Amino acid sequence: MRKLLIASIAAAFLLGCGSDVSTRPCQRTAYCYKTKDEPSKRKCDLDRAVAEEKAKRAEEEGNLSTRLYEDCWDF
């Protein structure tokens, strides 16, 4: 009986419960943007106000490549 219960839980996890990242709650929301001088590197901060200020500064300098967006950090 116990093995059947464990197998059922494992199957549910593998077939849908927890297999899709979007269904899990985000542990920490990071606020990120990219600049033109380093387009492959995202710059992130856990404090939205700080990230907005940095992105605004980059935009004023003409260096903002990607506007501020939310990312999920699970660690």
Q: H or E element: which one contains 11?
A: helix 2-15
Q: What is the pTM of this model?
A: 0.62
Token readout for 73 is 């950090």
Whether 1 is covered by a domain: the verdict is no
Residues of the domain holding 67: 28-75
Residue 36 falls within a domain, yes or no? Answer: yes
The string of pLDDT tens digits covering residues 4-60 is 434 444 444 434 444 444 556 788 999 999 999 999 999 999 999 999 999 999 999
**59 occurs within a structural domain:** yes
In a domain, 66, yes or no: yes
Give domain status of residue 54, yes or no.
yes
Residue among 35, 26, 40, 36 nearest 70 (CA): 26
Which carries the bigger pLDDT value, residue 71 or residue 18? 71
What is the count of structural domains for the chain? Answer: 1
Element housing 60 (H / E): helix 48-60
